[in-house]
Chains A and B, each alone.
Chain A
């Protein structure tokens, strides 16, 4: 079963605008969430994370929001830059379980 879902396989955004990537989860035991960025032929690169005790975490142009009641998290990128074009994965973990559960990924394309 798909415990972490990214329902949008692709997203196209104009350079300079905000990119919003969404992720839903079903397992209420998840207590830590992460976003990764992946270019072709490379491994995923860690971007930003958030603990379930918080509802927002910021790092430069990247902000992650967590809505526990809706079991939903989102990644905001402001402003979007051409170098942000990549596949973005959200992932979740459960305390005590030594693994990450990944969504299927969203391909973000930033148009000039």
Chain B
């Protein structure tokens, strides 16, 4: 079974621009979560989607948004990029019904650099 895939793997953007990252979960996984990893803050939860609905959101500004499609693929968008948004953005999928997320399986991440 193919793992979680994320595109693009690397991205360089300029301050003020916006960016969209894509994630395809493991086949059959309906829950998709997004995390931001930075050297100073570690892995921070952004949001989680299940059946096209955002079920939980982390403590990030409204510039960070996401969505999930009917095939469980997910995108996250960051508008008005700031230098501090430079990070590794990780997507994780989980095999779960309407209950609680437990084991999550991560993709390789998208490395975003804002200049």
By a beta-carbon cutoff of 8 Å, the part of chain A in contact with chain B is 32, 34, 36, 41-46, 49, 89, 91, 93, 95-105
Contacts and interface: CB of A to CB of B under 8 A. Distances in A.
Contact of A98 (B35, B55, B107): B55
B43 interface: yes
A105 B42 contact: yes
Interface string B33-73: 10100000011110010100001101000000000000000
Interface in B89-114: 90, 92, 100-109
Interface of B: 4, 31, 33, 35, 42-45, 48, 50, 55-56, 58, 90, 92, 100-109
Contacts, number: 64
Contact of A93 (B44, B58, B100, B108): B100
21 contacts: A32-B100, A36-B106, A41-B108, A42-B109, A43-B90, A43-B108, A46-B105, A46-B106, A93-B102, A95-B100, A97-B56, A98-B33, A98-B56, A100-B35, A100-B101, A102-B35, A102-B42, A102-B43, A102-B44, A103-B42, A104-B42
If over half of B's interface residues share one DSSP class (helix, strand or loop), that class is named, otherwise mixed; here it is strand
Contacts of A102: 35, 42-44
**What 3 A-B pairs are tightest by C-beta distance, nearest first?**
A43-B106, A102-B43, A98-B56
Contacts of A46: 103-106
Given A44-B106, A45-B106, A99-B101, 8 more contacts: A34-B104, A43-B90, A49-B102, A93-B101, A98-B101, A99-B45, A100-B35, A104-B42
Contact of B109 (A43, A95, A103): A43
A97 B58 CA distance: 11
